[in-house]
Amino acid sequence: MALLPLGFCSAQVLQPRGSGIAQSQQGRLIRKQAIEGHFESIAPRSLPQFDGAVPGSMLLAKHRQAAAKVQARVRASQVARPQAQPGSAALLGILLRPAIPAGSVPTSVVTGDFNRDGKMDFIVANGLTNDLWLYLGNGDGTFQLPQISPLSKGLSPVALATASLRNNGILDLVVAESDSSTIGVLLGNGDGTFGYETEYALPEPPASLVIDDFYHNGKLSIAVAMDTIVMPSTNQIPYIALLTGDGTGKFATPVISYVPLYYSSAWNIASGDVNGDGLPDVLLTGPGWENSTIFLNNGDGTFTPGQIVMGNGEFDSLLDGRLGDVNGDGCLDAVVADEYTEV
């Protein structure tokens, strides 16, 4: 874990153990397995920079083999699982609930009260079937059968985020759609349904997104981490797209932040004001040259690469990173997870 201070905090950043891509044979193998278990497309391409790994190929292979197991899964989903007993060390106090149906290759989940009944619901994006499944909560830890909404325009959802984009208390949805290189916005109706999808095109496929007030103007915008699929003719690689919100649920044409030379394979983007200037910055994390790196908000829709919090190295293959004040000292910290079961 690396600690990232705000402007008034004293520096306390751990020295990164790596600064590039894992080079050992074991590291390359573990990284390749992680990439092949990470869905990015229904027709993924081999990545030469990752020893020919094909993103999500393991998941897609398992899906092709699953047809004969459908009935068994349905029967299993109808049988209540035993609840964990108090003091169970295996589950750390989490109670198991009856299984519920799921879609094909779930990629992301968001929670919220989507029908405004005071009970928590959740929505799952399914990458292979290109749809969203809404599970309305009963308020007792159980959920109704899902309401399935096919995406009308975008292809291959890989990430979800939710917020009240119109500041009216109604939750809306934002979807990162990899195979169409688009961001889809679905405005909520407040009753568990959503309006038609509005699309915004990107120069490269989105991998992750985060919603925040990036201009500090009371209006929410969307920051998107992109994967590099086609190497551009110049040495400027598109890393981050910012869709500026107008407060009504509409967004401007994305503003692109470029990084010279290195392709992007980021899996996660998180936001937070790490330098105390009032503008949310972002943390990009992935198994490639992006490492886990802070990008500072310039206030004009662009971001500048800052400090590497943790680098991919011989014993690190980074998968996820988040920002938060984990020790209660008023300074934002970065928590980074890697494939070697470390945080």
Lowest-confidence range among 110-119, 191-200, 333-342? Answer: 333-342
* Residue linked to tokens 């306390």: 12
**Residue type (1 letter), 297:** N
Band of residue 71 on the pLDDT scale cut at 50, 70, 90: low
- Residue 285's contacts (CB-CB under 8 Å, 6 or more residues apart) are 266, 267, 268, 269, 270, 291, 292, 293, 318, 319, 320, 321, 336
- Residues β-bridged to residue 240: 225, 257
Lowest-confidence range among 160-169, 228-237, 239-248, 256-265? Answer: 228-237
Q: What is the mean pLDDT of residues 69-88?
A: 53
pLDDT at 161: 98
Q: What is the mean pLDDT of residues 128-150?
A: 94
Positive or negative CA dihedral for 15, 20, 21, 25? Answer: negative
Buried b (16+ CB within 10 A) or exposed e, 81-100: eeeeeeeeeeeeeeeeeeee
**Residue type (1 letter), 36:** E
Judged against a pLDDT cut of 90, whether residue 296 lies above it is answered with yes
30 and 15 Cβ atoms separated by less than 8 Å: no
How far from the centroid of its chain's Cα atoms is residue 155's Cα? Answer: 16
- Total residue length of the chain: 343
280 and 297 Cβ atoms separated by less than 8 Å: yes
192 and 147 Cβ atoms separated by less than 8 Å: yes
158 and 107 Cβ atoms separated by less than 8 Å: yes
Q: What is the mean pLDDT of residues 1-28?
A: 50
- Residue 240's contacts (CB-CB under 8 Å, 6 or more residues apart) are 223, 224, 225, 226, 256, 257, 269, 282, 284, 295, 303
**Structure tokens given for 149:** 């909404």
192 and 222 Cβ atoms separated by less than 8 Å: no
**Residue type (1 letter), 3:** L
State the pTM of this model.
0.83
DSSP string across 211-269 = EE-TTSSS--EEEEEEB--S--SSSEEEEEEEE-B-SSS-BPSPEEEEEES---B--EE
Band of residue 256 on the pLDDT scale cut at 50, 70, 90: very high
Lowest-confidence range among 67-76, 97-106, 213-222, 277-286? Answer: 67-76
pLDDT single digits (tens) 145-159: 999 999 989 999 999
